[in-house]
Structure 1
Amino acid sequence: MNNSNKLNKEVVDSKAGMPLNKTHIYTLIGFIIIAVFWVMPPIEPLTPMGMKVAGTFFAMIIWWSTVSTIWPSICGLLFIGLSGYAGNGAKGFTSVFTSAFGNNIVLLVMVAMVLFGAFTASGAPKYIARWILTRKILNGRPYVFMALVFAAAFFITGVTSAVATLILMWPITLRLMEGLDVNSDDQIWPYFFVGLFLVINFARSVFPYKGVMVAILGTYNELSGNADPIIFVQFMVFLTIMGFLFTSLYLLGLKFIIRPDVSKLRDVSVEKLAAGQELPPIGLPQKLYLAMIPIYIFMLMAPSVLPTSNPIVAFLETIGPLGVTVFWVVFFSIVHFQNRQLLEYKEVAAKHFNWGVFFMIPSSLYGSAALASDATGFKDLLIQILTPFLSGKSELLFIAILFTFAVFISSFANNAAIALLMMPIIFVFCEQFGIDPKSAAMVLSAIVFLAMLTPGASPQAAMTFGNKDIYKTKDILRIGFPVTVIALLLYIFIGYPLAKILFL
């Protein structure tokens, strides 16, 4: 696989290298689940149609986590159409696909992947990394150095992808470590590189206008009937605050509790770092793409923070995130540099359009909504099964149980797939116990990405476990497990109350 394909492999298929026989086994398991759910008598209170939808959705979860994303997504919609959920006959079957792919979130992702793919292809992220890592404040300050490396990784992950950031940051940081004479035998090595991975993993959902985060947050909006939708800008603020707290706690824990030997990092200087960051002078394309990011964010935020009586703000509210993203795609397509468009749509789409994410989003949105609808009886079944375990608990304990379960199960299955499975569960029980589902759903959307203790958790986890030149499995588990527990507690005791304030 070439680097351009790797850069945008933000997909739910974290088992791309799985032997063919295992792929066939998991494929067969999914079809067996569908067959069993379609022929067995309904498990009350599930309806006959609910059994078919539930079996199909569970099969998609298994396939997304173990096999692929494209054909399972199409296959899932096929079986939901055959279940009669949208009506019988050709009209009902066709309605499933037209409704799924006609969702405005699907269109947003289609355009955003090209826009941010062009941002990555321009080379702008490399200039961000170089600028951050050549600030004089880090001279002779090991923990400031690590904080700036982590900050660069966090920001680049937010505007590109976790996989892209790993591919970009690994060679940069390895050159930095080589220049400082730090090697894998030094005590600080695993804490630095595992910490880098943890920050990247944490930041992958901070900019939710791209990738699977759109599907996860969009699923909540669909389940709520868009009556009280999650506003993506608020989600960005929440994740940025939590990311700052997480990174700060990690570095403070290193400095004052673990206290690894950082003597070699005391030689860090701007001159040494700059020597490993040779880049040509920044050009017009990179400058425009870098300027686009803050303006893009402002255009998204403006309708939420400024009065809509202003005609420009009113216009931005009218076009929404989809319109803002389309505007920038058109802008970069019109502007030319050296007789070339700054955004060659077909060229960028060929390298950076992620078909796995594109097909997963409509199938996950539609499948989750179908599963949680009154026609299936799935919500009643969840209440019947889980009420004995959750009833009588305080709100905080209730939230802690659900979040802990989500983190545990997503350590062994794909993060995004588990978030999609958990969303209707969160929604049902928050309503059942009189808890605002919005705050819980928002934290759930972020908390599943804490899980990274097996290669199956995410694509970047698979990449990290497989990179034996940098990471040892024992170091990932030794450092990652306690950090995951601490991050879980951070979300339960600080993140959830913060979400309730931000999402009133």
Structure 2
Amino acid sequence: MTQPSAVDSRHILHIVIFFLLTFGIGFLPPVGITPMGMNILGVFLGMLYGWTFIGFAWPSMICLVALGFTGYADPGKIIGSAFSSPAVLFTMFVLAFTTYCDKSGINNVMAKWCLSRRVFAGHPWIFTASVLTGTLIIGFLVDGVPAAFLIAGILYSMFHDIDMKQGDDYPAYLLAGVYMAGVLSFACKPWAGQNLMGISALSDVSGGTAVINNITLIAIAMPVCIATLLLYTLIVRFIFRPDIARLSHLTPEYLDRISSQIRIDNRQRVAATALVVFLLVMFLPNILPAGSAAANFFGKFNMVVAMVVILGVLSFLRVDGEPVFDFHDCASGINWNVIWMLAASMPVSAALSSDGAGLSRVLTDILSSFVGDGNILIFLAGFMIFINIMTQFTHNVTIVLIAVPLIWNLGQSTGINPSGFTVLMLLAAGAAYATPAASTVGALSFANGAWVGMRRAFKAGIFGCVAAIICMLCLGLPLVMVTVGL
């Protein structure tokens, strides 16, 4: 009789632990939260464990169904809401679009153009920092999700061109940094997610007396996020120390040879035009006069609508008698690990943050315990670190909405400027990418098993969060004191 291997035994043990967490936590006595909250917490912990040690697809399926038996909602409605999420729909379409860009050859053209810049000759870390800051800026101007997918697609072509392979350290940590930059791009936007909710919540709780100006938030957040990516680059260079021999030997002659190979045909021109149109449609609502007819028109084109329109137009366009875009062919690029992970994370996070779970009340009590006497700088540092850690496991909007009233009350009793304190808190909540549950874009690092891998995704994410906290305290805090006051 064949004995099971150690690998098989570990896999079976992981599966047993996954089911015990998912379905067993709910039988434990509630600890500060409701019985339904205990069931939801079990699903969340099981999902996180399954993603880390088993995989993404079937643990996500089991957890979606299990969530339907916690008392939170009907299983059918949960699965329906999971796949009707705009983030999930957009990811499916954008993965098909990026596959089309790759098949058309435009990714290869952009990769050769980027790689052939003379400034990168003999300067691989300038190249690394440029890629990360470029992703941040594109994500800020448009959106962090398409920016991460776009840059990653270009990098795949570049890795192929310089013979870097899956499993190599440098591509893994560079791609992880790209996903971090996508996350941080949201932290720079006053109109995005947790920032918008936090600014609105502070205005409401203060009766309009505490207002965070959009320009002020950008002026503080952008330098901090850029500094975070630069510090992450130094971490990769001096701590992770990947092999960069293929980048270090990029001589001017080699770069010139790459540049001379750049050729653009009609299919690539169409793909480049589609890419530019998508970026413009995403960018225009942010710069057109508010309330104008043009702004109202382009405002209807959210990410999903814009991508569907572009793919529809590409489908009927023909070059040399053939359709430009074949959805069936490009659907091969849809990574179902990513899709299932996103589909499961959103309803589980929403359930964990619901009033019926009772977690919000527990978080309020914990955050309130931070309010006390002592050195204000130590208190601020501890508060920000706690916010960042909690955001790794709980939706950042939930954390922000709980923290803002506490910050306002603390400001009234101690004299701390609630606006400056809130800006720091928003930065801490926006720099979450150390776990698969931390953020939609950051989770892509964990789902990219081929290039990044779970171990390196955790390593990059944890060190990246440490870099963010350091930059917030060393740069963000002085900027807040100069611009807003504290």
Letter in structure 2 aligned against 1:360? M
* Distance (Å, rounded) in 2 between the aligned partners of 1:52 and 1:466: 26
Deviation of the 1:459 alpha carbon:
5.4
Q: Are 1:147 and 2:131 counterparts? A: no
Q: 1:254 to 1:163 in 2, by over 3 A?
A: closer
User: 2:441 corresponds to which residue?
Assistant: none
Which range moved further: 154-163 or 29-38?
154-163
- Note the 1:64-103 alignment, pairs <5 A: 64-86=51-73, 92-103=74-85
Q: Is the 8 A contact 1:50 1:378 kept in 2?
A: yes
Q: 1:54 to 1:385 in 2, by over 3 A?
A: same
User: 2:326 corresponds to which residue?
Assistant: 344
Q: Is the 8 A contact 1:364 1:420 kept in 2?
A: no
User: 1:202 corresponds to which residue?
Assistant: 177
User: 1:27 corresponds to which residue?
Assistant: 15
Deviation of the 1:325 alpha carbon:
1.3
Selected match of 1:63 from 18, 43, 50: 50
User: 1:428 corresponds to which residue?
Assistant: 402
Deviation of the 1:356 alpha carbon:
1.8
Deviation of the 1:236 alpha carbon:
11
Q: How far does the alpha carbon of each residue in 1:423-458 deviate from its partner, in whole angstroms, 9 at most, with x for none? A: 64565345544478787466545442599xxxx983
- Note the 1:48-447 alignment, pairs <5 A: 48-86=35-73, 92-137=74-119, 142-143=122-123, 146-148=125-127, 151=130, 158-160=147-149, 167-173=156-162, 198-207=173-182, 244-246=226-228, 269-275=251-257, 279=261, 281-349=263-331, 351-385=332-366, 387-388=368-369, 394=376, 396-402=380-386, 405=389, 418=392, 424-425=398-399, 428-434=402-408, 440=425, 444-447=429-432
RMSD value, Cα: 5.0
* Distance (Å, rounded) in 2 between the aligned partners of 1:198 and 1:292: 29
Q: How far does the alpha carbon of each residue in 1:158-199 deviate from its partner, in whole angstroms, 9 at most, with x for none? A: 453787566444444458xxxxxxxxxxxxxxxxx9676544
What percentage of residue pairs aligned between the two structures are identical? 19
Q: Secondary structure at the match of 1:343?
A: coil
Which range moved further: 483-492 or 60-69?
483-492
Which range moved further: 422-431 or 111-120?
422-431
Q: Is the 8 A contact 1:199 1:247 kept in 2?
A: no
* Distance (Å, rounded) in 1 between the aligned partners of 2:347 and 2:281: 29
Q: Is the 8 A contact 1:84 1:93 kept in 2?
A: no
* Distance (Å, rounded) in 2 between the aligned partners of 1:298 and 1:112: 16
Q: 1:392 to 1:165 in 2, by over 3 A?
A: farther
Gaps of 5+ in 1: 1-17, 87-91, 176-192, 229-233, 256-261, 407-416, 468-472
Q: Is the 8 A contact 2:194 2:426 kept in 1?
A: yes
Deviation of the 1:340 alpha carbon:
2.6
Q: How far does the alpha carbon of each residue in 1:54-88 deviate from its partner, in whole angstroms, 9 at most, with x for none? A: 111111111122212222222112112112212xx
* Distance (Å, rounded) in 2 between the aligned partners of 1:497 and 1:125: 41
Gaps of 5+ in 2: 1-5, 136-145, 203-215, 238-243, 409-417, 437-443
Q: Secondary structure at the match of 1:160?
A: helix
Q: How far does the alpha carbon of each residue in 1:259-316 deviate from its partner, in whole angstroms, 9 at most, with x for none? A: xxx9x99986432224357756222222232333343222112222212444333111
Deviation of the 1:370 alpha carbon:
1.0
* Distance (Å, rounded) in 1 between the aligned partners of 2:170 and 2:201: 39
Q: 1:244 to 1:438 in 2, by over 3 A?
A: closer
* Distance (Å, rounded) in 1 between the aligned partners of 2:478 and 2:131: 28
Letter in structure 1 aligned against 2:68? G
Q: Is the 8 A contact 1:114 1:352 kept in 2?
A: yes
Deviation of the 1:343 alpha carbon:
1.7
Deviation of the 1:97 alpha carbon:
2.5
* Distance (Å, rounded) in 2 between the aligned partners of 1:495 and 1:203: 22
Q: 1:131 to 1:166 in 2, by over 3 A?
A: closer
Deviation of the 1:320 alpha carbon:
1.9
* Distance (Å, rounded) in 2 between the aligned partners of 1:369 and 1:250: 31
Q: Is the 8 A contact 2:111 2:157 kept in 1?
A: no
Q: 1:65 to 1:161 in 2, by over 3 A?
A: farther
Letter in structure 1 aligned against 2:433? V
Q: 1:253 to 1:462 in 2, by over 3 A?
A: closer
Deviation of the 1:366 alpha carbon:
1.1
Deviation of the 1:403 alpha carbon:
6.2
Letter in structure 2 aligned against 1:82? F
TM-score (norm 1): 0.66
* Distance (Å, rounded) in 2 between the aligned partners of 1:238 and 1:284: 43
User: 1:448 corresponds to which residue?
Assistant: 433
Q: 1:39 to 1:48 in 2, by over 3 A?
A: same
* Distance (Å, rounded) in 2 between the aligned partners of 1:497 and 1:333: 52
* Distance (Å, rounded) in 1 between the aligned partners of 2:160 and 2:388: 35
Q: Are 1:36 and 2:21 counterparts? A: no
Q: Secondary structure at the match of 2:14?
A: helix
Deviation of the 1:218 alpha carbon:
9.8
* Distance (Å, rounded) in 1 between the aligned partners of 2:62 and 2:111: 41
